[in-house]
Structure 1
Amino acid sequence: MPPPHIVFLGAASMDMIFSVETLPVGAGKILPRGLVQAAHGMATSAAAAVARLGGRASLITRIGADVMGDHFIAEIAAEGVDCRHVRRFEGVPTPLSAVIVDDAGERLILPYYDRALGSDPGWIPADVIQQADAVQVDIRWPEGAMLALKLAQQAGRLAVLDADTGPTDTIVALAEVASHTVFSEPAALQVSGASAIPEALPLLAQRVPGFVAVTGGPAGCFWIEDGTMRQAPPPPVKVVDTLAAGDVFHGAFTLALAEGQSIREAIVFANAAAAIKCASFGGRLGSPRRAEVKALLAGT
């Protein structure tokens, strides 16, 4: 059997990632100790992670027809991601982010997406989505995400939502169409109004018709299965950089589901992939290969 084909739709950016001792708390000047430039964005990082893990990944997104866009395409294509459906806009800058990562692995992100990229999803190739094994979207392009989820559901495909922070109405509207929604902890607390994941998860499950899970960083992933709340902690690692850890988790989770793994197996697999990523600086550049994930799981 060929590996599953997953279509990713959503955010794309070129990131400048700076390593510092501590995150800034006010005005001033900080001299970073390191710098990495890499193509990022939630959907982009998830697609690249899946390609490294042995899946087939296609990316649908919007960038500029500029030098940064050239770098973006070259870098993501080199990862093995199909970039034929990345639309480029003349006279519009490719999205850019400045990211600061401290010694604890925490990060501060300043993303810029030009409004001239537009929101019209009419150019999205429906056949690419409906012929794939799964589609995964984020919330940064709601119009495109909604269309992609509906197309996937109509075709009986997995339709996975990476529910990060954003307008609550947007998150809920997309989650109502997705077959599987995995919330970040901040998004879960925002949408539910709860103060902790164990309180938030049942409220989200009542509100969202499909499968619901919440990622909680070092606490791992929480989900409800057979009416029972379950939790799977990640393998222990020395955390260096959490940037793109959630993206790697989402991509690995969707890949595992598309391969036919159970919910628990998919979450354990995704936890391990995300943990390995956290052990190195450079955002998604720390995404593991399949053999690394297998080795980590074999040792836990």
Structure 2
Amino acid sequence: MDKTPDILCIGAVLWDVIGRSASTMRLGSDVPGHITRVPGGVALNIAMTLTRFGLRPALLAALGRDAAGDALLAEAEAMGMEVAHAYRSEDLPTDNYMAIEGANGLIAAIADAHSLERAGDKILRPLGDGRLGSPEAPWAGPVALDGNLTEDLLREIAVSPLFARADIRVAPASPGKALRLQALLGHPTATLYVNLEEAGLLCQTTFASSAEAADALLARGAARALVTDGGASATEAAPGRSLTKTPPAVLVTRVTGAGDIFMAAHIAAELAGAAPEAALERALQAAAAYVSGDTPQ
């Protein structure tokens, strides 16, 4: 049986600790709710969604040789992911993410991805040592890149021969890390998946719509851009094409990870041969199902 993965997911693989309340919250709120710990991180969120579409992703990430890392990779493997290529550190702990969500959306979040940042290019070793590719025969399939990677590593990836033939899909992780993606704006195969705020940060302005933002990203050198604007609209733009759709109207019960679901569903649709309009529609449907609570965490 061919053990080559369908896609590489490179970036944060960690534990999500999420506190959710049905109450509207503000600074200093102390309300009842539920706290969960589930597998998360941008790269893992994308990979989990890809497995639901029947794909086999491989994780390139940094985890500690600790109980948290063992448990996380065991869950990932049970879901159908290839985990053998993950970098395991003897002296760095497994990363964590913590968020608080209320009825009025995300209140605050902290991403502790310091182990991923400190591991640096060690997570890319399988792409150069023959396991997944080499400088002479680089990986030629799709790659989901996570903006939790350092700016230096993203710059390295942008010019690396190891990614010369890859179909690169990029997620910023958060508005606070969106500027890290500037290194990939000129890459000929990089598709950016950002929200309206992140697009504005990359273009150093504000936008009134996803269509305006997507066109501006192309003007700044993006090979292709997908921009979401919550429940208002989403746009996919490439040279000579701009397509905008309105997401399904749903009751929002959670928001953390919705962008990752959108990106993964769009990638899966395209890998299955969907045309641009159909791929965008499937991504919006998947994200709507997720934020409404109709699909698993």
Q: Under TM normalisation by the shorter chain, which class is it?
A: 0.7 to 0.9
Tell me what 1:296 maps to: none
Question: What amino acid is aligned across from residue 142 of structure 2 in structure 1?
Answer: A
- Residue by residue over 1:49-88, the C-alpha shift from the partner in whole angstroms, topping out at 9 and shown as x without a partner, is 0001111111111122222212211222221111111212
Question: Among residues 128, 143, 147, which one is paired with 1:135 in the alignment?
Answer: 143
* Cα drift, residue 201 of structure 1: 2.4
Summarize the alignment of residues 1-300 of structure 1 with structure 2, pairs less than 5 Å apart: 5-22=6-23, 24-27=25-28, 30-114=30-114, 118-122=118-122, 124=124, 125-126=126-127, 127=130, 128=132, 130-131=138-139, 133-142=141-150, 143-145=152-154, 150-151=160-161, 153-155=163-165, 157-163=166-172, 164-167=174-177, 169-177=179-187, 178-192=189-203, 193-197=205-209, 198-225=211-238, 227-280=240-293, 285-286=296-297
* Cα drift, residue 248 of structure 1: 0.8
Q: How does the TM-score come out when normalised to structure 2?
A: 0.83
Q: Percent identical across equivalent pairs?
A: 22
* Cα drift, residue 133 of structure 1: 2.8
Relative distance call for 1:65 and 1:37 in structure 2 (3 A) is same
* Cα drift, residue 171 of structure 1: 1.2
- Residue by residue over 1:106-144, the C-alpha shift from the partner in whole angstroms, topping out at 9 and shown as x without a partner, is 352122123585143145211526446311101111355
Residue 49 of structure 1 aligns to a residue whose secondary structure is helix
Residue 268 of structure 1 aligns to a residue whose secondary structure is helix
My pick for the range that moved more, 193-202 or 114-123, is: 114-123
Relative distance call for 1:148 and 1:136 in structure 2 (3 A) is farther
- Residue by residue over 1:175-199, the C-alpha shift from the partner in whole angstroms, topping out at 9 and shown as x without a partner, is 3224311222221011111232343
Relative distance call for 1:115 and 1:44 in structure 2 (3 A) is closer
* Cα distance between partner residues in 2 of 1:114 and 1:199: 34
* Cα drift, residue 258 of structure 1: 2.1
CA contact (8 A) 1:8 1:57 kept: yes
* Cα distance between partner residues in 2 of 1:253 and 1:116: 26
* Cα distance between partner residues in 2 of 1:270 and 1:134: 17
Q: How does the TM-score come out when normalised to structure 1?
A: 0.82
Relative distance call for 1:169 and 1:218 in structure 2 (3 A) is closer
Residue 202 of structure 2 aligns to a residue whose secondary structure is helix
* Cα drift, residue 7 of structure 1: 0.6
Q: CA RMSD in A?
A: 2.7
* Cα drift, residue 230 of structure 1: 2.4
My pick for the range that moved more, 44-53 or 14-23, is: 14-23
* Cα drift, residue 31 of structure 1: 4.3
Tell me what 1:298 maps to: none
* Cα drift, residue 174 of structure 1: 2.0
CA contact (8 A) 1:183 1:213 kept: yes
Residue 61 of structure 2 aligns to a residue whose secondary structure is strand
CA contact (8 A) 1:43 1:59 kept: yes
- Residue by residue over 1:190-235, the C-alpha shift from the partner in whole angstroms, topping out at 9 and shown as x without a partner, is 1111232343322211112411121112123112256454211222
* Cα drift, residue 45 of structure 1: 0.3
Question: What amino acid is aligned across from residue 207 of structure 2 in structure 1?
Answer: S
My pick for the range that moved more, 249-258 or 193-202, is: 193-202
